[in-house]
Chain A
Amino acid sequence: MDNPAQIDEIRDPLQIAENWVGEGRDVALATVVETWGSAPRPVGSHLVIDAEGNFHGSVSGGCVEGAVVTEAMDVLESRKPRMLEFGVADETAWRVGLSCGGRIKVYVERLA
């Protein structure tokens, strides 16, 4: 749920996504769809990424954003959505993890 009374046009990922698309950029949206244990950002949080690797918002406290951005670039190219999972249990699958010990699932899709 959004906390500020008004949409913060400068920092709101969904507003930025709309603005970027309006500028003709190719844009991917990453969304936290599930969390287990202590997770830094709640379900529903967004990270918005363009094809140059620019991003706004967050899906964790900064722990996995880099990896999500890289995956998002692939999603923009393949145009196929992807489900990512991060957490201590998955460190063999993913080189980045959540130091807080939580686990999150992040859905990455291209805005079309």
Chain B
Amino acid sequence: MDLSALRELNADRRARRAAVLVTDLDDGSSRLLHENDTVGGELADAVRQVFRTGRSDSVEADGKKLFLNVHLPSPRLVVIGAVHISQALAPMAKVAGFPVEVIDPRTAFATAERFPDIALDAEWPQDVLARRPLDSYTALAAVTHDPKIDDFALKAALDAGCFYVGALGSRKTHAKRVERLLALGASADEIGRIHAPIGIDIGAASPAEIAVAVLAQIIRAFRTRGLEAKDAAA
């Protein structure tokens, strides 16, 4: 690897940008590719594959022996709402490997006692997200039920291309939310990306069961990135 590629790769990783370093194992040359780069030939499929799975791989493409080392930002979860569901969802997501951050401006909800060992912000989402912006490797679950708190975060998640956007609420609640998000300037297509009612259908009843359903939906969204069409059933 040449030094400029190393510096660029480290800068990408710090900025949470996905990158693949392609090394030609015969001549030692290397180049760095990003998710929206145009790649031709047999390499294109292999590059798509490693971006999707996050698993580095040795491949033969276009008559060359290549090593594709993929560096994906670690997926993280931002939960809007320090509610009962979040008390189960945050520790579960942590166990599953997602760094978690819970945001809720209501100081009665957002307490360290209710969320031990969880990154917690007792602030408005607009303030927290201005400091730590959402990105396409972030999942956002909005579970306060309160438009004043949820709506801004949901719009921000759609704008940032979060790999998962979920919102708690019945179909009726969601229909009203759709109207409000349209008024905020979100397109119908973008709004269609929101998982609502939230969570895969496992008949979840308790807050902890709903947390399981939400976490499963987040994992599926992450592992099937780029294959959204097949995910339509969710």
Residues of chain A touching chain B, judged by Cβ–Cβ distance below 8 Å, are 1-5, 7, 14-15, 17-18, 21, 29, 31, 33-34, 42-44, 80-81, 83, 105, 107, 109, 111-112
Interface residues of B in 55-95 (CB under 8 A from A): 55-58, 67, 69-74, 76
Question: Is A18 in contact with B7, judged by CB distance below 8 angstroms?
Answer: yes
Contact of B6 among A21, A34, A107 (CB under 8 A): A21
Question: Is A2 in contact with B1, judged by CB distance below 8 angstroms?
Answer: no
Question: Is B71 in contact with A1, judged by CB distance below 8 angstroms?
Answer: yes
Given A7-B13, A18-B7: A107 and B2 within 8 A (CB)?
Answer: no
Given A107-B67, A111-B1: A43 and B28 within 8 A (CB)?
Answer: no
| Secondary structure type dominating chain B contacts | mixed
Question: Is A1 in contact with B6, judged by CB distance below 8 angstroms?
Answer: no
Question: Is A14 in contact with B9, judged by CB distance below 8 angstroms?
Answer: yes
The residue in chain A whose Cβ has the minimal distance to the Cβ of B69 is A44
Question: Is A5 in contact with B3, judged by CB distance below 8 angstroms?
Answer: no
Question: Is B25 in contact with A111, judged by CB distance below 8 angstroms?
Answer: no
The residue in chain B whose Cβ has the minimal distance to the Cβ of A109 is B28
B6 surroundings in chain A (CB, below 8 A): 14, 17-18, 21, 111
Question: Is A5 in contact with B99, judged by CB distance below 8 angstroms?
Answer: yes
Question: Is A1 in contact with B3, judged by CB distance below 8 angstroms?
Answer: no
Given A14-B6, A44-B70: A1 and B13 within 8 A (CB)?
Answer: no
Question: Is A21 in contact with B69, judged by CB distance below 8 angstroms?
Answer: no
Question: Is A18 in contact with B13, judged by CB distance below 8 angstroms?
Answer: no
Q: How far is the CA of A14 from the CA of B55 in the complex (A)?
A: 18
Residues of chain B touching chain A, judged by Cβ–Cβ distance below 8 Å, are 1-3, 6-7, 9-10, 13-14, 23, 25, 28, 54-58, 67, 69-74, 76, 97, 99
A43 surroundings in chain B (CB, below 8 A): 55-58
Question: Is A15 in contact with B10, judged by CB distance below 8 angstroms?
Answer: yes
Question: Is B58 in contact with A3, judged by CB distance below 8 angstroms?
Answer: no
Contact of A2 among B13, B25, B67 (CB under 8 A): B13
Q: How far is the CA of A44 from the CA of B21 in the complex (A)?
A: 10
Question: Is A3 in contact with B74, judged by CB distance below 8 angstroms?
Answer: yes
Give the distance to chain B from A110, nearest Cβ to Cβ, in Å: 9
Q: How far is the CA of A80 from the CA of B56 in the complex (A)?
A: 23
Question: Is B71 in contact with A29, judged by CB distance below 8 angstroms?
Answer: no
Contact of A83 among B9, B13, B25 (CB under 8 A): B25
In addition to A3-B74, A5-B76, A107-B23, 7 A-B residue pairs with Cβ atoms within 8 Å of each other are A7-B13, A34-B58, A44-B56, A80-B28, A107-B67, A111-B3, A111-B6
Q: How far is the CA of A2 from the CA of B12 in the complex (A)?
A: 13
Q: How far is the CA of A109 from the CA of B24 in the complex (A)?
A: 12
